[in-house]
Amino acid sequence: MRLEPAGADALLIVLAEQPDAGLPLRIATLTDRIHLELGPLLIDLVPGWTTLLLHYDLLRTDHLQLGKRLLPLLEDWHAEPESPRLGRLHELPVWYAGEDLAEVARACALSEAEVIALHSGTEYRVGAIGFAPGFAYLGELDARLALPRRASPRTRVPAGSLAIAERQTAIYPQASPGGWHLLGRCPRRLFDARAEPPCPLAVGDRVRFCAIDEAAFRAEGGVP
């Protein structure tokens, strides 16, 4: 574990060298505690796969002072290898009819039904949220579905697209460019700046996907 200044008004906490399955929830727990204890000094707390970046208010503190205040919290956290929480579970409906489903099945030497069964049969953990508002990186995808990103990214992926790449899966909350393989579509909105909260998912949460058909997708407000 180490603390490093990240520019004039941010402090990076490196919590591990490699991510592991339990780390996102532990980092989420740490993030909550730091927010509770030191919130007024902080502007943003951004959990990463193995890190936590604190954007702080330079008029109230600096990286040295903040480091001192963080030490006891970090020691307590370090002494607690398991998170006391489970992480909230979200069940997200997916119409598995993505443009790349057939290609993914071929590349993985599986049937389309097997791809769907493997993808929806795994419980995922939100490891990080970034790239775009509400874009949650979910891990860990079954090794039998692991593929590198597409050679050339699509210029536009429709909102709600469920996609995979390497050992990760994610839903694109807005239409955007994207280089992942599209397996299906989720009819739910995963980011809405006017909603409270704007994004239902948080780092450390658990996600399960359940397969639905086109009629159910439309009934939930999905636009094919």
Partner 1 sequence: MTGLAVLRPGPLSLLQDAGRFGWQHLGVSPAGPLDVQAAAWANRLLDNPWGTPLVEIALGGVELESRLDTWVALCGAELDITLDGAPRPNWSRFPLRAGQCLCLGFARSGQRSYLAVAGGFRAGALLGSVATQTREGLGGLHGDGQPLRAGDLLPCAPASRSGATSVPWRFVPDYRAEPRLRVMPGGDAGDFSVAERRRFFAQPWRLSPQSDRMGARLLGEPLRAPARQWSLGVTTGAIQVPPDGQPIVLLADRQTMGGYPILGWVHPLDFGLLAQCPAHRTVRFERVAVEAVQGEMREFYRFFGR
Of 58 and 210, nearer to partner 1 (C-beta) is 58
How is residue 91 written in tokens?
Answer: 């069940």
The piece of 81-89, 97-105, 112-120, 194-202 that touches partner 1 (CB under 8 A) is 194-202
Distance CA 136, CA 193 (A): 16
Tell which one of 3, 9, 99, 110 touches partner 1 (CB under 8 A): 9
Q: What one-character-per-residue DSSP string does 130-189 give?
A: -SSTT-EEEE---GGG--PPPSS-EEEE-TTEEEEETTEEEE-SS-EEE-SEEEEE--S-
Q: Does 62 bind partner 1 (CB under 8 A)?
A: yes
Distance CA 81, CA 59 (A): 35
Q: Does 151 bind partner 1 (CB under 8 A)?
A: no
Region for 87 from its dihedrals, namely left if φ exceeds 0, alpha if ψ lies in -120 to 50, beta otherwise: left
Number of residues forming the site for partner 1 (CB under 8 A): 44
Nearest distance from residue 61's CB to partner 1, in Å? 10
Q: Does 107 bind partner 1 (CB under 8 A)?
A: no
Distance CA 130, CA 134 (A): 7
The piece of 69-77, 131-139, 141-149, 179-187 that touches partner 1 (CB under 8 A) is 131-139
Of 130 and 224, nearer to partner 1 (C-beta) is 130
DSSP one-letter code for 96 = -
Site string for partner 1, 21-50 (x = CB under 8 A): ----------x-----------xxxxxxxx
> What residues contact 58, with CB distance under 8 A and at least 6 apart?
8, 9
Could you list the residues that contact partner 1 (CB under 8 A)? 4-10, 12, 18-19, 31, 43-53, 55, 58-59, 62-63, 128-135, 137, 174, 191, 193-194, 198-199, 202-203
